[in-house]
């Protein structure tokens, strides 16, 4: 049975399930191409849209439950490792495209993998805090998304 659960978990986190995140990513570069659109506005819009996707995805809560287990089964560790490796690679390429479209680059000491990993951790952490204490964000997801976009802008 544990193997079945790990396989189900792997299926839930597979890139084939990232359709909503991919839709957010696909509109990012085109949003930057609109004349008169500031980079920080686009970053905030992307952050808000993606946080809505994350909070609406059952897989986010499943990841939280799995990671909260006292002892994580090696098969679950393997699934999470594969998931985050793929997410870092994919989001890294997305961020590279967004930065290029905006004529920006990361600070010299920040590579794409580190940036993608940091953004994932920041988004998931903010989402967790929002779920646990929305009042800290005035019960407004846009406040949490603003924190996420500011975190992105610090690295540029």
Predicted TM-score (pTM) of this structure? 0.89
Tens-digit pLDDT profile for residues 21-43: 888 888 887 887 776 778 888 89
Domains of the chain by residue range: 2-154
Would you say 44 and 149 are in contact if contact means Cβ atoms under 8 Å apart? yes
Confidence at residue 140, expressed as pLDDT on a 0 to 100 scale: 98
Confidence at residue 34, expressed as pLDDT on a 0 to 100 scale: 77
CATH code, residues 2-154 = 1.10.357
């Amino acid at each position: 049975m544990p193997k079945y659960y790990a396989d189900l978990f792997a299926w839930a986190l597979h890139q084939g399930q990232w359709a909503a995140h991919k839709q957010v990513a696909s509109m990012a570069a085109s949003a930057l191409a609109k004349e008169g659109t500031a980079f920080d506005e686009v970053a905030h819009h992307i952050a808000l849209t993606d946080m809505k996707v994350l909070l609406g995805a059952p897989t986010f809560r499943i990841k939280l439950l799995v990671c909260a287990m006292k002892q994580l089964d090696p098969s679950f560790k393997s699934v999470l490792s594969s998931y985050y490796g793929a997410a870092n690679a994919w989001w890294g390429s997305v961020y590279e495209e967004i930065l290029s479209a905006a004529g920006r680059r990361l600070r010299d000491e920040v590579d794409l993998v580190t940036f993608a990993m940091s953004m994932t951790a920041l988004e998931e952490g903010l989402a967790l805090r929002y779920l646990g204490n929305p009042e800290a964000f005035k019960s407004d997801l846009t406040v949490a998304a603003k924190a996420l976009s500011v975190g992105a802008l610090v690295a540029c």
